[in-house]
Amino acid sequence: MSKPKVLVTRRWPEANEARLRDLFDVTFNADNHPLSPAELQDALRNYDAVLPTVTDPITAEVLSVEPLRAKLLGNFGVGFNHIDINAAKARGITVTNTPDVLTDCTADIAMLLMLSAARRGGEGERLVRAGQWTGWHPTHLLGTKVTSKTLGLVGFGRIARAMATKAHFGFDMPIVFFDPYPPTQAVIAHYGAKQVDRVEDVLREADFVALHCPGSPENRHLINAERLALMKPTAILINTARGDVVDNEALIQALKSKTITAAGLDVFEGEPNLNKGFLELDNVVLLPHLGSATLETRIAMGDRVIENVVAFFKGETPRDRVV
């Protein structure tokens, strides 16, 4: 039997690409450019499986292509809001993702953002690199203490719980959370966490608010001007979820007006086209979507995609089937 014909939309770690070459008739995006809608349509016409990433908007229009050859979208990432799931289902395309394997590293980035924003790490490094540091003095770059402050979590899934482990047991932080699909009472009790009924309750109570909710039409601009106004003026917002969960323009205004003290962001609306308003602010830490960016995690993500693709072409149900 001939090997399934597979297109990989962006370059993967070398170990993953070697496995792909062994298992499939694989084509790589040699220069690693973001594929255009027309290129994505060509991929769906000419390959049995397409392995996209968050940088590949698989819209209903892209999925309307004729003739359609692809039967599988093996997504490299846990989030799949860049794929029109309903359109994929209507066209009989299976979609898989990569849960579990990026949990710890994404939680690490959330902690990095929280600590950097609280202790003004980005400002301090820029000052040193610019040769403008004049030495220690008692009121220089005073930040916010993290230990023992309340961490509010919007969403209490795998990544949020990994962050809660680091924050509660490592930094003695009380945990308050909202999640419409909460874990068991045993899990909640493990963290001594307080469950509240609304997002607004988290925003009012927490010193740090970390977003761990999925990207979806329902969650678009979940954090808007009205909700930002509910936060403490000393509070700090952390987003490692999806960029459009936050109204970026409203956040910029809240940071300018000191409605909240600071923010730490790894994701943005319309990324990589960053709202230039963020660049005018010192009280925001900006990272280029580094949540899962460790070699170990990216290899594990690639392996998980490969496992799903192999299962699919064996006629089995992939472990991480979304639809």
Active-site residue list: 242, 271, 289
Q: 143, 192 in Cβ contact below 8 A? A: no
Give the list of residues 6+ apart from residue 220 with CB closer than 8 angstroms, or none.
244, 245
Sheet holding 236-239, edge to edge: 194-195, 175-178, 151-154, 208-211, 236-239, 262-265, 284-286
Question: Maximum Cα–Cα distance for the chain, whole Å?
Answer: 73
For 267, residues 6+ apart whose C-beta sits below 8 A from its C-beta are: 239, 240, 241, 242, 243, 289, 291
Let me know: does 252 contact 277? Beta carbons within 8 Å. yes
- Cα dihedral sign, 264-269-271-273: negative
Contact 230, 207 (CB under 8 A): no
Which residues make beta-bridge pairs with 51?
8
AA identity, residue 38 = A
Angle of CA points 28, 290, 132, to nearest 5°: 130
